[in-house]
Amino acid sequence: MVALDVDGTVVDRDGVLGRPMADALARVVAAGVPVVLATGRAWHSTRDLVELLGLPKGPTVCSNGAVIVSYPPQEIVQAVTFDPREVIERVESFAPGTLIAVEEIGVGFRLNDHFPEGDLTGELVVQSAEELGALPVTRVILRDPRRSVEEFITLAQHLGLQGVTYFVGWSAWLDIAPEGVNKATALAQVAAGLGIAAEDVLAAGDGRNDIEMLRWAGRGVALPEAPPEVQAAADAVSPPFAEGGLVPELLHWFG
């Protein structure tokens, strides 16, 4: 099985899929090997890429492992949720002004105020903090364009959150998922369902939310643009994305 992060791994930071990557993945598919996208993206913003790649029916891991979707046709195989009220209350108390959003699977997000243009996609509905916390959710997103990544890491530590998993993004962005949920836990479930052992999985990624996946897979490959702790979790580091990134690795096995 080939398990791939999306942004910065399969597509560039603008979401553009290059022809060499598309061709390399077509070789993997032609070899009869399952390709599973494992992304922090919500399903509604991942579906178009699944279609563009022409992936056969199979699972996609979204929302950092909280959501598994089989497509086509669309079927929500798993949606792990948690009570977001404590997170929201702590953030509003400790870091007032932080933008907060909760995911609506396949639809969009409910949020306490508008995020920077392009940050979120799908249907966006502004609600009060009380309304955001009224229902269990698969993910809470915290965003503050005024803060640095380092400040956001400090914020995550100071929140003292229990019963959740958090991932710090590239910008002042924090994804909060149910406790014990990450890309690796979801991929382990997917692989087991396909009768595939972890040692027979090639995984690749470039973000802090890929660390568990890279450690879990039989071969984990990080992009050189990844933070040092992500590269340290991998078995190998690919060429830079602009110089082919994961393409040589895929062609090595499937060329």
Give residue 57's identity as a one-letter amino acid code. Answer: K
- Write out the two tokens for 44: 């509604």
pLDDT tens-digit readout, 102-144: 999 999 999 999 999 989 999 999 999 999 999 999 999 999 8
Asked if residue 193 lies in contact with residue 211, where contact means CB atoms within 8 angstroms, the answer is no
Residue 168: pLDDT over 80: no
Please give the Cα distance from 231 to 228 (Å, whole number).
5
The model's pLDDT over 219-245, given as tens digits with 9 standing for 90+, comes to: 999 999 999 999 999 999 999 999 999
Lowest mean pLDDT across 7-11, 115-119, 148-152, 200-204: 148-152
Query: Per-residue pLDDT for 150 more than 90?
Result: no
The residue-averaged pLDDT of 168-193 equals 90
The span from the CA of 92 to the CA of 217, in Å, is 38
- Beta strand residue intervals within 63-127, DSSP E: 67-71, 75-79, 99-104, 108-111, 123-126
* DSSP conformation letters of 128-160: -HHHHTSS-BS-EEEE-TTS-HHHHHHHHHHHT
How far apart are the C-alpha atoms of 22 and 145, rounded to whole Å? 33
pLDDT at 93: 87
Report which of 126, 84, 73, 77 is spatially closest to residue 105, judged by C-alpha positions.
77
| Residue 174: per-residue pLDDT | 87
Percent of the chain's residues with pLDDT above 90: 82
For position 162, what pLDDT does the model report? 66
Report the distance separating Cα 132 and Cα 20, nearest Å.
42
* CA dist., res. 103 & res. 124, Å (int): 10
Contacts of 35 (CB under 8 A, 6+ apart): 1, 2, 4, 25, 28, 29, 53, 55, 58
State the pLDDT at residue 173.
86
Sequence-separated (6 or more) residues with CB below 8 Å from residue 19: none
Helix pair angle (19-30, 247-254), 10° resolution: 30
Nearest alpha carbon to residue 19 among 244, 249, 206, 210: 244
Q: Express each pLDDT in 1-60 by its tens digit.
A: 999 999 999 999 899 999 999 999 999 999 999 999 999 999 999 999 999 999 999 999
pLDDT in the model for residue 160: 72
How does residue 151 score in pLDDT terms, banded at 50, 70 and 90? confident
Q: Residue 33 corresponds to which tokens in the numbers above?
A: 């090997």
Query: Which carries the bigger pLDDT value, residue 187 or residue 91?
Result: 187
d(CA 17, CA 43): 18
Is 80 exceeded by the pLDDT of residue 149? no
Q: What is the mean pLDDT of residues 74-102?
A: 93
